[in-house]
Amino acid sequence: KKSDYIMSIIERMISTGSTADNSSITPQQKTIVDRCVSRCYQKYLEHEFDTDYLPTLIELQNELDKERENEDGRLMAEGVEYYTRGSMDIFAHHTNVAYQNRFVVFNIRDLGDQLRQIALIIIFDFIWNRMVENKNKGIRTYCYCDEIHVMFSTYYSAYFLKQLYKRGRKYGLVITGITQNIEDLLKSDMARGMIGNSDFILMLNQSPEDLKI
């Protein structure tokens, strides 16, 4: 699961478009990433999940550098380096967020489009992990997504959000999406499916055109 998650982040890092079909990663490159992820987590597993050995994207970059002798490995290493050692390395290190607090807020407003999509994938993974952890403790998890239409601007963030909506209730997740204009959501098939799965919908002061839709 972790390998698949890291693959999604890297696909977003080096993709050329907003859908999965426009991803520039090949099956051979996926194999390289999977091999590097396994090596990254080796010490963590050998030390019985000791958090002192949790790898970061820096360790992943180091492993990708070892694959530079072939063309696919070189392309992967150079494509990811912008986000690990370059100016977009904000997610490459251990977090300084107090994520064990009872109330956690993520604000992605000031992130650029490219970095925002990576941030959303990372945030959704955090929510998923916290949700599973809370379920084991018998605690409900409440998640509020403001300006939710932004999350449907690309395939990757929409897909992860859809998974939260479809599977989260089994883990005690209560998720609420908030947007000013419902028409933006109706343009997305994924969003339409999520609206259909919503137990409660509240619409305030909609324009006549939006009400017809």
Give the CA distances from residue 61 to residues 74, 95, 117, 176, 203, in Å, rounded to whole numbers and listed in that order: 11, 17, 20, 36, 46
Phi, psi at 174, each rounded to 5°: -115, 105
Taken as a whole, the chain contains a residue count of 213
Rounded mean pLDDT of 96-118? 85
Per-residue pLDDT tens digits for 11-45: 888 875 544 445 568 899 999 999 999 999 999 99
Query: Which of 86, 44, 24 shows the shortest CA–CA distance to 61?
Result: 86
- Are 185 and 179 in contact, with CB atoms under 8 Å apart? yes
Q: What is the pLDDT of residue 16?
A: 56
Per-residue pLDDT tens digits for 48-85: 989 889 999 999 999 999 999 999 999 999 999 999 99
Q: What is the pLDDT of residue 18?
A: 47
- Are 128 and 164 in contact, with CB atoms under 8 Å apart? yes
Q: What is the pLDDT of residue 62?
A: 96
Rounded mean pLDDT of 108-123? 84
- Distance between CA atoms of 122 and 33, rounded to whole angstroms? 17
The pTM of this model reads 0.79
- Are 26 and 73 in contact, with CB atoms under 8 Å apart? no
Q: What count of other Cβ atoms lies within 10 Å of the Cβ of residue 173?
A: 21
